[in-house]
Amino acid sequence: MAAEFTFSVGSSIAVVISGNSTILSENRTFELGFFTADAGSNWYVGIWYSSIPIRTYIWVANRLNSVKNQKSATISLNEDGRMIITDSNQLIVWTTENAERAAEAKLLDTGNLVLLSQTGAIVWQSFDFPADTWLPGMNITRNNKIVCWRSVSDPSPGNYSLRLRSPGFGEFELVHDEETRYWSTGIWTGSSFSGIPEMSVRYLYTFRFSNPFNPSASFTYETLPEFSNTLTRFSVDSFGLLKQYTWSSQTENWNMFWSRPENVCRVYGLCGNLGFCTGGSLRPCECIAGYVPADEQAWRSGGFNGGCRRDDEKSICQGDGDGFEDVGVVNFDGSVDSVVFTGGRSLCEETCLKNCSCVAMKHNEESGMCNIIFGSILNIQNLTSDSTDEIPLYIRVGRDGFNEENKMNGGWRLKMVLIIIAGCVFMALCFVALALVILRMIRNKEKRKKFEEEMTFPVTNLKVFSHKELTAATSGFTEMLGHGGFGAVFRGTLSDASEVAVKRLEHPTVGRDKEFRAELCTIGNIQHVNLVRLRGFCLEDSHRLLVYDYMENGPLSGYLKRDGEVLSWDVRLRIAIGTARGIAYLHEECRDCIVHCDIKPENILLDNGFNPKVSDFGMAKLIGRDFSRVLTTMRGTWGYLAPEWISGVAITAKADVYSYGMTLLEILGGRRNVETPPSVFTSTRIEGASQEDHWFFPPWAARQIVDDKVSDVLDGRLQGAYNPVEARRLALVAVWCIQDNESCRPTMGMVVRMLEGTLEVTVPSPPQLLQALVSGDSFQGVRVVSGQESSLSSGTCSFESNKDTGVSPS
Ligand SMILES: *[C@@H]1O[C@H](CO)[C@@H](O)[C@H](O)[C@H]1NC(C)=O
Ligand SMILES: *[C@@H]1O[C@H](CO)[C@@H](O)[C@H](O)[C@H]1NC(C)=O
Ligand SMILES: *[C@@H]1O[C@H](CO)[C@@H](O)[C@H](O)[C@H]1NC(C)=O
Ligand SMILES: *[C@@H]1O[C@H](CO)[C@@H](O)[C@H](O)[C@H]1NC(C)=O
Ligand SMILES: *[C@@H]1O[C@H](CO)[C@@H](O)[C@H](O)[C@H]1NC(C)=O
């Protein structure tokens, strides 16, 4: 069905594309044609990648005027030499505005649709009118901007856009409604933007800013020649996040590894009026009790900007009944008016309730200051703990929204009647229920028998749990131990009194039970003293639960806090070696080599003797090939992930080695590698926008280690109580593990032997990519960005010593 990549004006109107025919770019990278994102209600002309299985639209022509029926709609060049889209009634729904006549249209392999004049000059190009995607080679100037889709199923322009700041022309900003800035890159420093130091690393991209600080400023990026086959893009999603993606042909998926602002709740007005931002990656917004989405349909499809409305909207100000819901110490966007006066709590409440347009109030118990709030309270967010403002916000709610006491105050007589009626109904229902329960017990017994028969496991060490059993074991999933990329983990106690951790997978694996079981089987067979044992699982209806041994001392990450418990040197050494052994086992001794993909302190659990056990192995495979979920649980910063994740080349076990090296640095330093200063939400959030800043420990640490200043890197809280020979060895291994070039990194097996001291460790060179992020020896939390670009050294590396015991790098 796909045609040539050009079409031209014929004698009359040249109809080139209609219905579901498309044209391809020269090398079949991109495809242009009609598409629908909402199952056929609205049709648009767009460009997408033709070479990948996941439909990804990079451009949309008629974003404002969809075509209702694509069958007889067309794209063509008209007599004036303009490109037009006509609907089935031959009405023009979209046209290019080129002044000069085009004789030919061509879809380039860059994704750019160009109109060419008779002489071959470009008279119009789609790159000047981007949709939500910024492709390599596309110039952003003050005349164009990247505007998000309204929702994933609606390509019309949404509220968020990325644009060159004007005036100034020296930085980019994300804005809401063309007006309110909620994130910026920081000022151009000559090689990068001040807020994105990782740009100065010459890896994957080169960036070019022509005429910065000038109205003619134009910014673009290109992929480096060695990555010319990598599909990569930036886009602004409908939640207002600027994201960077690379296509991985290994996982057949887009890997997202960079996203700003890092906290989705920072996106201005994301959850709309009286919407509560929880920060979840799929559904970041909620309505508080007593409120419902203002636009149910939009809310369901991920458009949260409409916010929430009172459930009992009609009864607002219809006499008594309103009360307040304490939403805690929060921050919010939007402009509000407030009236401030001094008075008691009840006067404060009364005053608000008396005025129909009052939506919330704050009352400071200490000073007696009352704040009555009018207007729209947008995108409510939990305030970070270090805020000075400790006064909770009370939102006005209807009868159903607030606590029990208040509810009992009015209309008790009516309630008594209701209670009596309810009582009778209840009795009747009890009889019915009893009958049903008996019936069900009989059926369940049959079902369970059948269910267990289905579970014909070749291994006997995995136990099949019922959902009921696990609900009882975890007391109804109440004690949450943590929340990872795959779901929440709860503490539980089995009937034999053994303690377990129950992981509830939040991933639609329904319908893939067979694969799921096969994977479980693989995981269940893997047993090693440094791997967390999978005891069993529950696979019932839509429930997917995994049951693991419970680890008393929790994840390693809990010990990397400044104010946390300090681990002794011996414990650190044990953790380092044990973790390495666990990973080495996964890589080298299992039947199928398992790449963990997500080695980090959160996934290293400590038992009651502080022995490390690696958890979450096999997960990436278990939940399908969706590595992006793994990636988004990382801190999503360059310099933390192995470079091969970013460039989209195949991921091997060496990616785990990299992450292990990063973790080793954290163990040595007793701190996190990437520390984000506590974000400060203030009412002047524009100033706060550029505060999202990082301090990268690894580049500095690597430099110190290479310069034989290991003691500077070690956790000061150890107060010198460590073995310097072992410390040096661990430190050198860490730097070997984080080499840019994966062939320079040792295998996990070699890491173990190096750590144990049976393989001599030489001094590596500092990793170039990381090193580009800092210059010199400056520390003290001040990040100095080096001016010069650096690139991956392709030089040789030799970590094997000549005193080696005979093993050479693969
Ligand atoms: C266009 O798509 C429809 C529905 O998918 C299909 O029935 C029809 O055969 C297609 N037409 C062409 C020409 O491919
Ligand atoms: C298309 O691919 C060929 C062969 O790989 C290459 O020589 C040519 O430059 C490519 N064309 C474009 C426009 O990328
Ligand atoms: C982008 O700008 C550069 C220089 O300003 C220019 O040479 C190049 O042709 C432009 N590219 C596109 C696709 O417009
Ligand atoms: C906000 O913080 C409160 C108190 O710390 C907590 O109970 C609540 O669950 C938090 N809400 C969200 C959405 O994070
Ligand atoms: C409600 O308060 C607003 C703002 O102070 C005021 O303009 C308005 O007149 C008040 N309405 C009533 C009914 O008191």
> To the nearest whole percent, how much of the chain has pLDDT over 90?
32
Question: Does pLDDT of 682 surpass 70?
Answer: no
> To the nearest whole percent, how much of the chain has pLDDT over 70?
76
Cβ 127 under 6 angstroms from ligand 3: yes
Q: Can you list the positions of beta strands (E) in 237-298?
A: 242-248, 253-260, 275-277, 285-287, 291-293
Question: Does pLDDT of 529 surpass 60?
Answer: yes
Give the pLDDT score at 447. 57
Render pLDDT for 512-528 as a digit per residue (tens, 0 to 9).
677 677 778 778 888 89
Which atom number of ligand 5 is nearest to the Cα of residue 374?
Answer: 4
Render pLDDT for 474-489 as a digit per residue (tens, 0 to 9).
999 988 888 766 778 8
Residues near ligand 5 (Cβ within 6 A): 339, 355, 357, 374
- The larger pLDDT score, comparing residue 509 to residue 90, is at 90
Which ligand lies nearest the alpha carbon of 40?
A: 1
Q: Is 468 annotated as a binding residue?
A: no
Render pLDDT for 725-762 as a digit per residue (tens, 0 to 9).
999 999 999 999 999 888 899 999 999 999 999 998 99
Beta bridge partners of 206: 222
CA 138–ligand 3 middle distance (angstroms)? 8
Give the pLDDT score at 626. 44
The pTM assigned to this predicted structure is 0.73
Give the pLDDT score at 229. 86
Ligand 3 pocket: which of 220, 221, 222 to mutate (most atoms <8 Å of CB)? 220
CA 109–ligand 2 middle distance (angstroms)? 8
Question: Does pLDDT of 789 surpass 70?
Answer: no
| Phi (first) and psi of residue 476, to 5 degrees | 75, 35
Question: Does pLDDT of 257 surpass 80?
Answer: no
CA 502 to chain centre: 23
Please return the burial class of 296, using the count of CB atoms within 10 Å of its CB with bins 0-12, 13-18 and 19+. exposed
Question: CA-to-CA distance for 358 and 636, rounded, in angstroms?
Answer: 41
Give the pLDDT score at 446. 59
Question: CA-to-CA distance for 267 and 175, rounded, in angstroms?
Answer: 9
* Per-position DSSP letters for 700-742, written without gaps between them: HHHHHHHTT-HHHHS-GGGTT-S-HHHHHHHHHHHHHHT-SSG
Question: CA-to-CA distance for 462 and 518, rounded, in angstroms?
Answer: 12
Give the pLDDT score at 334. 78
Cβ 40 under 6 angstroms from ligand 1: no
* 177-181, 507-511, 571-575: range with highest mean pLDDT: 571-575
Question: Residues 247-275: what's their mean pLDDT?
Answer: 83
Cβ 137 under 6 angstroms from ligand 3: yes
Question: Does pLDDT of 552 surpass 90?
Answer: yes
109 carries an active-site annotation: no
Q: Which of 128, 115, 110, 131 is nearest to 60 (CA)?
A: 131
Element (H, E) at 666: helix 653-669
Task: Quickly state the pLDDT bin for 414 (edges 50, 70, 90).
Answer: very low
* The amino acid at 747: T
Domains along the sequence of the chain with CATH: 1-129 (2.90.10.10), 266-406 (no CATH), 463-549 (3.30.200.20), 556-809 (1.10.510.10)
Average pLDDT, the chain: 79
Residue with tokens 């994933």: 152
Collect all residues with Cβ–Cβ distance below 8 Å to 242 and sequence separation of at least 6: 162, 174, 183, 234, 235, 236, 259, 260
CA 336–ligand 5 middle distance (angstroms)? 13
- The larger pLDDT score, comparing residue 653 to residue 430, is at 653
Task: Quickly state the pLDDT bin for 628 (edges 50, 70, 90).
Answer: very low
Give the pLDDT score at 631. 45
CA 25–ligand 2 middle distance (angstroms)? 11
- Helix then strand then coil, in percent of the chain rounded to 5, is 25, 25, 45
Which atom number of ligand 3 is nearest to the Cα of residue 128?
Answer: 14
